[in-house]
Structure 1
Amino acid sequence: MADHHVIIENLVKTYPGAQKPSVDHVSFSLPRGEMLALLGPSGCGKTTILRMIAGLIAPTSGAIRLDGRDVSSIPVYKRNMGMVFQAYALFPHMTVAENISFGLEMRKVGRAEREERVRKALDLVKLAGFGERKVSQLSGGQQQRAAIARSLVIEPELLLLDEPLSNLDAKLRDEMRDEIRDIQARTGVTAIFVTHDQDEALSMADRLAVMSAGRLEQIGTPREIFDRPQTDFVASFIGAGTFFEGKVAGPGMAVVDGLPPLRFVGEAAVGSPVRLMVRPHRLLLAGEDGQPNSFTGTVEHIVYRGQILTLSVRCGSRLLQADLPTHAGVLPQKGDQVTLTVAPEDVTLIGREAA
């Protein structure tokens, strides 16, 4: 069994006067050296969880365990955690090196060791030679690197990042995703970061904890969350999809409104209602009708997205969305009749485990 470095047990936070808890009995664990994304919309409780783990907010109840030790009531400065804030929180009157060294000074680390650890931290985040610069002389991405270096130089047991990329422009955000992931992998530090950005979470994290209204909806690897969502919320929040309400007519087959029977992979009792989902990239152009899960219809709308062409296809009473690669030969035009197909294993049975 994996070494669970971080264990969150039944964590609750209810603010005075609030009718409902901001964090409602949340439990999860994280193996050593992995990166977890707390993902969800604004107000779902993800930042509150991060701040309770850091010790900035006291939980109403529950436990926060680090290496088997309950740190729920331990002061911030004794938790040995590094925190990277959304606005970086660098001291503008200090140089980059002084900012990075600050935590070591508070821990009474000797000058020679401080200087060596700061040098290594600057190298780690690709800021060698920037130590004597003022914070105001750094770009947004460089300030982010400096904030990460300041958090890592103390050699924390756990690295916490609150919306670490939200203040950066789109291109820099993409670059820093890779940078942060690379730094975390090279140091081996266990990390938890908060984000509302699906792409950010899917591309950076080893596992995702999806939050909604204070509750944990699902935790799993990026592929598990994307391909096998267990709740309607997770299915609709993570990526796009076409949803089908139906009734199981036989093993692995459901009758849905407005379409031929839809075949899927999974366990569901005959006669029971089911909710199914198909991701747009799973719908493919078929040469002809007659394949399993084939739907013929008319292209009503096309959106060009560079590498992807998104089609809205009217199949009877249903509108299906398909994402096709733009390099895939001759592509349909608006008004064309097309046949779409999806493999049964690519039809997601929401809320049940696939067989």
Structure 2
Amino acid sequence: MPDSHLIVESLTKTYPGSTASSVDHVDFNLQKGEMLALLGPSGCGKTTILRMVAGLIAPTSGRILLEGRDIAQLPVYRRNMGMVFQSYALFPHMNVAENVAFGLEMRGIPKSERAERVERALDLVKLSGYGERRITQLSGGQQQRCAIARSLVIEPDLLLLDEPLSNLDAKLREEMRDEIRDIQARTGVTSIFVTHDQDEALSMADRMAVMSAGRIEQIGTPREVFDRPATEFVAGFIGAGNFFAGTASGNGEADIPGLGRLTFSQSAAAGTPVRLLVRPHRILLGHQGTNHFTGTVEHLVYRGQILTLTVKVGERTIIADLPTHAGKLPVTGETIALSIAPDDVTLIGEAAS
């Protein structure tokens, strides 16, 4: 797209001596101010992409266009990108203000202007008054904020974050998700962040690219990727799911061995092998609508707001998530009815022959 802020075209990285590419012909684009999550398991190539965009790794082939200019061969110091590392990479011998000012000093910004910009950056990340503190005096979340301030103070064309929350405890991770998203929205800086955590990607990104084995399996908004996964890998990696292989019988229906007939809202020609997905939280108690089944509760897991049921239906096992405030809840061994709306059954592709 010619008006995109960042365009990545057929980006490939093959390391010497390797027969497989770590990154294999990856394409995506970003509009100005957009935040993209690169999501996938360890070794899928997401960090390699981030480092090629940053200039820390040279691509084997492909183009990286920033505002229409190919920067793939530019050295890192000429790319004007801010990067937040997993380890924060702060200088322990410098105080907070000196850490934040480092990039400005390297760019030859006058001392008076440096002080003003550092103060604004610290205020942005809620660290006003912390400038004289040592890095060792900061909590994990404060160190994260300091690293973000150091990346933003140079007014980067791109902000790149590599697993930025992985070193924080669970409660602080949730808080920092909102903090980073808020900071990014207020500054309007185009951003890419790498994560293996689906909750981070779903809650923080404008769009997310799910990766496997060096390729992007699907790219879209969090809702598109979660509700309409393009492949079974994406469906399984993003959230829990019940998967059903069967044969389409036409009219938006499929015959599922061991279960019966399942109606869905998408179309597939009669006789076509299909794979269908139903998210556990989309399953309702009781006989409602088109798809309803009777089964026996085999196992229960209490998760606070959610009760997860394993239910034996015919020859199949179905996982259902029920809100714990929804009146009387089933117990192990009880026979219950389950319902699934056709709109909540997603066609994800053909079954293996």
- Which of the five TM-score ranges fits, normalised by the shorter chain? over 0.9
Match of 1:344 among 331, 337, 342: 342
User: How far apart are 1:250 and its partner, in Å?
Assistant: 1.4
- Are 1:208 and 2:208 matched, yes or no? yes
Residue of structure 2 in register with 1:312 after alignment: 310
- Partner SS, residue 56 of structure 1: coil
- 1-structure distance, mates of 2:2, 2:57: 29
- The residue that corresponds to 1:147 in the other structure is 147
C-alpha displacement of 1:4: 1.4
- Which range is displaced more, 43-52 or 104-113? 104-113
Aligned residues: 350
Structure 2 letter corresponding to 1:259: L
Partner of 1:5: 5
Q: Deviations over 1:323-355 (max 9, x none)?
A: 000000011111111110111011010049xxx
Runs of 4+ in 1 over 6 A off after TM superposition: none
Instruction: Note if 1:225 corresponds to 2:225.
Output: yes
1:260-271 maps to which residues of 2 (within 5 A)? 260-271=260-271
Q: Which residue of 1 aligns with 2:47?
A: 47
For residue 3 of structure 1, report the CA deviation from its aligned partner: 3.9
Please report how far the alpha carbon of residue 159 of structure 1 lies from its aligned counterpart in structure 2 after TM superposition: 0.1
Q: Where in structure 2 are the equivalents of 1:311-330 lying within 5 Å? A: 311-330=309-328
Q: Which amino acid aligns with 1:328?
A: A
State how far apart, in whole Å, the 2-side matches of 1:109 and 1:18 are: 43
2 CA distance for matches of 1:25 and 1:161? 22
- Looking at structure 2, the residues matched to 73 and 250 of structure 1 have their Cα atoms a distance apart, in angstroms, of 53
The question of whether the paired residues in 1 share the 8 Å contact of 2:276 and 2:349 is answered with no
Matched, 1:332 2:330: yes
Identity of aligned residues (%): 73
Native 8 Å contact 2:2 2:68 kept in 1: no
Residue deviations 1:147-206 (CA, integer Å, cap 9, x gap): 000000000010000000000011110100000000000000000000000001101100
Contact 1:86 1:167 in 2 (8 A): yes
| One-letter amino acid of the structure 1 residue matched with residue 197 of structure 2 | D
**How far apart, CA to CA, are the structure 2 residues paired with 1:62 and 1:54?**
14
TM-score calculated relative to the size of structure 1: 0.97
Say whether the 8 Å CA contact 1:25–1:215 is kept in structure 2.
yes
Partner of residue 27, structure 2: 27
Residue deviations 1:91-143 (CA, integer Å, cap 9, x gap): 00001000000000111111111100000000000000000001000000000
Query: 1:260, 1:295 within 8 Å by CA — same for their partners in 2?
Result: no
Amino acid corresponding to residue 45 of structure 2 in structure 1: G
The 1:2/1:330 distance shift into structure 2, 3 A limit, reads farther
- Kindly report the root-mean-square deviation, in angstroms, between the aligned alpha carbons of the 2 structures: 1.1
Q: Is 1:134 aligned with 2:123?
A: no
Alpha-carbon distance between aligned partners in 2 of 1:187 and 1:267, rounded to the nearest angstrom: 43
User: Unaligned stretches of 5+ in structure 2?
Assistant: none
In structure 1, the gaps of 5 or more residues are none
CA shift, 1:258, in A, is 1.2
- Look up the SS of the partner of 1:180 in the other structure: helix
Distance 1:191 1:254 in 2: 42
